[in-house]
Structure 1
């Protein structure tokens, strides 16, 4: 079936992204709004035909997002750190959601996610979520990638972190333009819309520090950091 302009109706909601990597907690948190936001993000991704890349967990916010996207008919790809973690998840929840791949360590996990995703979104989460978020921001600043990094600030969960970013700018540790790397919104629909309009921001030295994702992946096996381009 086609719309008024001859465009297939099913394609009208398809946006800029084919795959979004979502960072979020393996716990649900105390507020129901966190779970509601995870479910809504999953629904928005299904509506826009966006596949999910994530950390592979089936509990907490991870489970809610991945199950929603999977049930909606979109592809789900999770990255787990080694085979033993996969067994641990199976023992806890009895299942995994979507396709699972195992990696050697955290660096390879993030590198694979960054290589295969078109954008990144962080929901509320703990240390792991924040570490993943900050690394994607740092890579964007260095020009390693030019993909949008979105922060779904549910109930002001990340307000203190955002204040810390502003403090970094105030004290001269973060460039004012780099502060604009983070795309911020309170709802999933608004966030994805803003991310679709995102223009890359990175340091002036970025061209000499821009690394290909395959170089990052090579560093995980060699144990040495990738060389910057000359």
Structure 2
């Protein structure tokens, strides 16, 4: 698929370094990875080769896509197996988590949160925070596999209802239930935002 006019060239995926209890999570990781590659996009992710992380990377690589892993040195043996890291197209080892997250943000044009733990939650919340502060307009997606993110989505709505998300129009993540629908939805969203931006520029001329 051509990406010449595509505002998304690479996708950052946040997800668990564990497989989780539902086999659907690993399958979703593989499907998302394959979809990323099939659409001619690259993967930016946390560099893990285990759990859902490993499934996403494997899905991209098996479909001939490009994978850039970004991982702090202290997690090399916790979230990854060193011999498997050699299969990635690109590996960036950072000094700490702060540098890792900054590089992931810089390298990605969109963000997806698949099921995961506290680290996954922290990463996607930070991206939403930056959107709320007007630091980016990149698409954000909750891959809501088997309703995994429902409690989080309910909390976000509660915060809006109670008046604590004061710029809610800037924090509008997509909620997609099926892994194979995530990339098409992201591309459509990015295209719409790009057209909105062009309309705003024209209207000022």
Q: TM-score, normalised by structure 2?
A: 0.83
Distance in 2, Cα, partners of 1:78 & 1:170? 38
Residue among 117, 137, 141 paired with 1:146: 137
1:164-201 deviation per Cα after TM superposition (whole angstroms, max 9, x unaligned): 0000011111136347521111013322222223256x
For these two proteins, the number of residue pairs brought into alignment is: 188
Unaligned 5+ residue runs, structure 1?
Answer: 1-9, 201-230
1:60 corresponds to which residue? Answer: 51
In the alignment, does 2:84 pair up with 1:95? yes
Secondary structure at 2:166's aligned position in 1? coil
In the alignment, does 2:26 pair up with 1:35? yes
For the aligned residue pairs, the C-alpha RMSD in angstroms reads 2.1
CA contact (8 A) 2:145 2:179 kept: no
Distance in 2, Cα, partners of 1:197 & 1:88? 36
Residue among 102, 109, 120 paired with 1:129: 120
Distance in 2, Cα, partners of 1:17 & 1:176? 24
CA contact (8 A) 1:34 1:61 kept: yes
Greater CA drift, 170-179 or 67-76: 170-179
Unaligned 5+ residue runs, structure 2?
Answer: 194-205
Q: Greater Rg, structure 1 or structure 2?
A: 1
Which structure exhibits the higher relative contact order, with contacts defined as CA atoms closer than 8 Å and separated by 6 or more residues?
2
Compared CA separation, residues 17 and 179, structure 1 to 2 (3 A): closer
Distance in 1, Cα, partners of 2:33 & 2:6? 15
Compared CA separation, residues 168 and 78, structure 1 to 2 (3 A): same
The residue correspondences of 1:172-211 to structure 2 (distance < 5 A) are 172-175=163-166, 177-178=168-169, 180-198=171-189
Q: TM-score, normalised by structure 1?
A: 0.75
In the alignment, does 2:7 pair up with 1:19? no
